[in-house]
């Protein structure tokens, strides 16, 4: 969606890259800070239930498209792990990190595939987010099933985490599309 806004305003390539970089950094920062706030308020179980890192990744995909969104999806858990490791309490945990990288990459890429459609019709944010969530969670489950013999995360543990996070997913399936639609209204001034 951001690409379409910038193109509509005939913005130079350098400016496009700068804007998308700043938005990406903002989404990654939010993906680092939100889990910290949730964990402070609700403890570790709050993270599994509310899935705070997923929200900015979904938002990044919808706004930035699949390529830049993919960067946000991959870098968010990596940067969070790197920064929180410095303070002695890594989030996500090292055993969970590869799974989150894959899962959030799928979230961002799938939601990002809808970015152009969202620019034309804000309501497309709903299927973008729902399909991204389903694809991401199924990928998480599949990867856990494939690697359960060498990982502490088994398919049954992952299935339990998916069930625990349903409320957070439902909430994000509402919040993210409405946020995207609101931003679309601010950024795209349709004169039709």
Rounded-to-integer distance, Cα 159 and Cα 151, Å = 15
In a domain, 179, yes or no: yes
pLDDT digits (tens, 9 = 90+) for 78-103: 999 999 999 888 999 999 999 999 99
In a domain, 93, yes or no: yes
**Angle, helix 125-147 to helix 54-64, in steps of 10 degrees:** 130
Rounded-to-integer distance, Cα 180 and Cα 185, Å = 9
Q: Residue 190's pLDDT band (boundaries 50, 70, 90)?
A: low
What is the average pLDDT value for the chain, to the nearest integer? 95
Does 192 have pLDDT greater than 50?
no
pLDDT given at position 107: 98
Extended beta strands in 58-171, E state: none
pLDDT digits (tens, 9 = 90+) for 101-151: 999 999 999 999 999 999 999 999 999 999 999 999 999 999 999 999 998
In a domain, 12, yes or no: yes
pLDDT given at position 191: 45
Please count the structural domains in the chain: 1
In a domain, 132, yes or no: yes
In a domain, 182, yes or no: yes
In a domain, 31, yes or no: yes
Which domain covers residue 44, as residue numbers?
2-187
- Sign of the alpha-carbon dihedral angle for 153, 159, 160, 163: positive
In a domain, 192, yes or no: no
pLDDT digits (tens, 9 = 90+) for 12-38: 999 999 999 999 999 999 999 999 999
pLDDT given at position 88: 87
CATH number at residue 131: 1.10.1760.20
In a domain, 173, yes or no: yes
In this structure, are residues 140 and 103 in contact, taking their beta carbons and an 8 Å threshold? yes
């Amino acid at each position: 969606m951001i690409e379409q806004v910038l193109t509509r305003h005939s913005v130079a390539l350098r400016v496009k890259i700068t804007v998308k970089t700043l938005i990406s950094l903002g989404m990654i920062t939010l993906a680092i800070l939100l889990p910290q706030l949730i964990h402070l308020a609700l403890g570790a179980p709050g993270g599994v239930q509310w899935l705070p890192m997923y929200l900015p990744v979904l938002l990044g995909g919808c706004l930035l498209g699949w390529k830049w969104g993919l960067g946000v999806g991959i870098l968010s858990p990596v940067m969070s792990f790197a920064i929180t490791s410095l303070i002695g309490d890594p989030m996500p945990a090292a055993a969970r990190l590869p799974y989150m990288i894959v899962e959030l990459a799928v979230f961002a890429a799938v939601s990002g595939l809808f970015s152009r459609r969202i620019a034309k019709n804000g309501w497309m944010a709903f299927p973008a987010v729902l399909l991204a969530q389903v694809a991401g969670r199924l990928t998480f489950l599949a990867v856990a099933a494939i690697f359960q013999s060498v990982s502490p995360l088994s398919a049954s543990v992952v299935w339990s985490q998916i069930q625990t996070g349903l409320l957070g997913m439902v909430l994000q399936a509402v919040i993210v599309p409405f946020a995207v639609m609101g931003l679309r209204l601010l950024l795209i001034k349709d004169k039709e």
